[in-house]
Structure 1
Amino acid sequence: MKKPLTENELLFLQIQELTLTLDYVNAYVFTKDCQGSYTYANKKVCDLFKCSLDKLIGKTDAAFFDLATTEKLQENDQRVIEHGETIEYEEINIIKTTNERRIYSCKKSPLRNNKGEVTGICGIATDITTQRALEAKVEKQKRLIERMLDNKELMIKATQTLIKNVF
């Protein structure tokens, strides 16, 4: 007969399950302390930064983003920490290692201890770069169609002239 698991063993299993679950989420999930140092990141974040979790923990955004992006991220983190409230916004980030520009839909919330004091932040970001590019393409095509419709009489006459000259 199996002996029951200890409280520590149960906690360890729960942490393993949660970590595995977060690694399969199609979003960037991370936590930071009040100084902006990473305390956790899921696999998607580690893949983005091209480093292991061990190498990521303790680093700040300055290690992974350009200066302007780092300043914006730190400003948003401080809003969450100082006001103790959740924020949702879009951000444009430049990844330092690839110089790649990405657009994210972000949500950051305060992490609190048992006294209710803010001890850090939890963030979830979804890459919406492709979605925004498709939206821009659709908008461009919509404007082209509107211009064509605004000039439909001219287009009809040009088509009729073309047909007469060809046939």
Structure 2
Amino acid sequence: MGTYTGRDVIVNFAIADESADPSGLTFKRLGMMRGKSMKTTWDTVDTTADQSPDFTKTNLVTFKSCEFSGDGVSYDDDLFNQEEFKAHVISPGAGTANQPKVWMQVIYPNGSQYEGPFIVSEWTDDSPYADAATWSMTASSNGAVVYTPPTP
């Protein structure tokens, strides 16, 4: 497929906790986004000891965390689902035990995607005097996030 622009990457969400079966969820597009970033980090533990080869440190990984961050231009049209997402983050309901939990999909033009449960830790509204109103958010994995490569 080759190269692509970030505007062609789709971000979907479904309001549900981490125990939900994603195949039964109704995902909605989080619209009018600009920046979309997915970061995967592994925690490591030092396994270096007195007989490590060539006095070189060795490590093992312990736990993986994924972090999604994104931002967009503020729109209140139902079509873009921003108000629904924001309302859930700010005042989560009983369906997620009053926690800002969502399932997210990040889908790339080549068909690859990330999917998994997240907890939204940050929502920001910016309303500058002489510019477009914008928003940004950050979410951390809250269970297994799976990356599916494109099918050939």
Q: TM-score, normalised by structure 2?
A: 0.30
Higher helix share: 1
Higher strand share: 2
Q: TM-score, normalised by structure 1?
A: 0.28
**Higher RCO structure (Cα 8 Å, ≥6 apart):** 2
